[in-house]
Amino acid sequence: MTDAQFDAAIGLIVRGDKSGLKEIYNAYARQICQVITGIVKNPQDAEDLTADLFMKLWETASQYRPGSGHKRYITVMARNLALDFLRRNNRLSFELDDEEQNTIVADTQDVQKDIEEKMGFWAALDSLNPNQRQIVDMHIAMQMTLKEISEAMKMPMGTVAWNYRTAIERLRNLYREDEVYG
């Protein structure tokens, strides 16, 4: 879904037309649920929070500023709902990583394809720490740039890039181990 399509769908929602919400839901429900699952670690809670996100989107559509980057907007909304859920349930168990490095980001397309073929991609993602998992989810599922992720997570770009590179290296190592022992 492009920014223009999202903006048009939000316009429909503001006018009370549920078809706008349906368009956004069809385009992003699966990816949003994946991002939330990466944070809360419970598929049932993630499904509930995904439904909550779309109800909140319906209620707050008039607050959206067209042209402000819809992927970042909806991902920040999902992340905040998930983190609020963890805080309410005293399950927030990670802190943001302060480490920064200038890194070259690895290409994920081949790594993702190989891992999906050799082992369950979801199992591989579960082996990552929460920040790494969330960054990989946002980059792969939501197709967000690392800059957009940095802004959404309120993390320095270097930290996001370092976490992403570390996650990809971890996934590559899991793939290699599976190849040797599988």
pLDDT at 178: 55
pLDDT at 107 over 60: no
24 or 133: which leads in pLDDT: 24
pLDDT at 137: 79
Query: What is the number of domains present in the chain?
Result: 2
pLDDT at 96: 36
Query: With contact defined as beta carbons under 8 Å apart, do 97 and 131 qualify?
Result: yes
What is the model's pTM?
0.58
**68 and 137 fall within a common domain:** no
In a domain, 93, yes or no: no
In a domain, 174, yes or no: yes
Q: Confidence class of residue 9 from pLDDT cuts 50, 70 and 90? A: very high
pLDDT, one tens digit per residue, over 129-149 is: 888 888 887 887 777 888 888
pLDDT at 173: 75
**46 and 116 fall within a common domain:** no
Please classify residue 158 by burial: count the beta carbons closer than 10 Å to its beta carbon, then call 0-12 exposed, 13-18 middle and 19+ buried: middle
pLDDT at 119: 43
In a domain, 99, yes or no: no
pLDDT at 123: 66
Maximal C-alpha separation, the chain? 57
Query: CA torsion 15→17→18→22, rounded to 10°?
Result: -90
Distance CA 119, CA 148 (A): 29
CATH of the domain at 130: 1.10.10.10
Neighbours of 51 (CB within 10 A): 13
Indicate the DSSP class of residue 104. Answer: P
Mean pLDDT, rounded, of the chain: 77
Residue 64 — φ and ψ, nearest 5°? -70, 135
In a domain, 78, yes or no: yes
pLDDT at 37 over 90: no
Distance CA 89, CA 39 (A): 13
Provide the token pair at 182.
């599988």
Mean pLDDT of 86-91: 78
Domain interval for residue 65: 3-88
**9 and 46 fall within a common domain:** yes
pLDDT at 121: 59
Query: With contact defined as beta carbons under 8 Å apart, do 74 and 52 qualify?
Result: no
Least confident among 30-44, 86-100, 156-170 = 86-100
